[in-house]
Amino acid sequence: MKIEIKPQERIDELGRNGYRILQDPDRFCFGMDAVLLSDFATVKEGARVIDFCTGTGIIPILMEARTKAASFEALEIQEESADMARRSVQMNQLEDKIKIITGDVTRSSEYFVKGSYDAVTCNPPYMIGQHGLVNPESPKAIARHEILCTLEDVIREAAGLLKQQGSFYLVHRPFRLAEIMNLCTKYKMEPKRMRMVHPYINKEPNMVLLQAVKGGKPRLSVEAPLIVYESPGVYTEEIYEIYGMEKKENNKV
């Protein structure tokens, strides 16, 4: 099947199963946070998974490569991004495993059956409000700021779609961790696993990975921190493994 590639788009290799993905630098390219979340999320064989705010579909594509989930659905409000995600799915011949839906996360219960998913993943907009934005309607602004959905929207809708004992996986910024924990417990999802991501071993974390279980019992496991760089431009061994890259001497990024 020939896949349309628009003039401003590029194809990136993903390092898993030979999979590739379409990217548009003028819109919003996926970052390390999405890759780390796809590695952090664990699902059982035969699981049904849905990804909120999927962008160009990076999380379901990577998770399909490393899990035995039965199916992935992915929700994206921006049609141009959803279209790129669909073409990436087609390029990797994953149409029977991954379905991309254009729609609003805040109305996800209108599109999907409540209580029917084993896992929900989300790499949501991190920033609150529109302070400092030149163009709040731009694709990059929508991806980064809570313009079209809030953190509470994401957590509420995830709780509605999950089965009892289903897992919600989130990557976010540590400065909002208290709010994340409060909202998860408000919607009966108990935080169970947490891992902080540090750019360097001696720097404070700039990302947090969290698993919350719907109807779970209170007990939080804090995992060893994930360190991104061992020196400027050189990933740690674990990051190379997550990306499916072989570490070489002087292999800088």
pLDDT class for 169, splitting at 50, 70, 90? Answer: very high
Residue scoring higher pLDDT (161 or 6) = 161
Is 136 or 91 the better-scoring residue by pLDDT? 91
CATH number for 28 = 3.40.50.150
SS (H, E, C) the chain: CCCCCCCCCEEEECCCCCCEEEECCCCCCCCHHHHHHHHHCCCCCCCEEEEECCCCCHHHHHHHHHCCCCEEEEEECCHHHHHHHHHHHHHCCCCCCEEEEECCHHHHHHHCCCCCEEEEEECCCCECCCCCCCCCCCHHHHHHECCCCCHHHHHHHHHHHEEEEEEEEEEECHHHHHHHHHHHHHCCEEEEEEEEEECCCCCCCCEEEEEEEECCCCCCEECCCEECEEECCEECHHHHHHHCCCCCCCCCC
**31, pLDDT greater than 60:** yes
Residue 3 lies in a domain: no
| Domain that residue 109 falls in | 10-243
- Tens-place pLDDT, residues 202-230: 999 999 999 999 999 999 999 999 999 99
Q: What value does the mean pLDDT take over residues 123-141?
A: 65
> Which of 55-64, 127-136, 196-205 has the weakest average pLDDT?
127-136
pLDDT, position 133: 54
Residue 250 lies in a domain: no
Tell me the average pLDDT across 70-76.
97
Q: What integer best gives the mean pLDDT of the chain?
A: 91
pLDDT, mean of residues 144-154: 80
Whether pTM exceeds 0.75: yes
The answer as to whether 251 is a domain residue is no
Domain count, the chain: 1
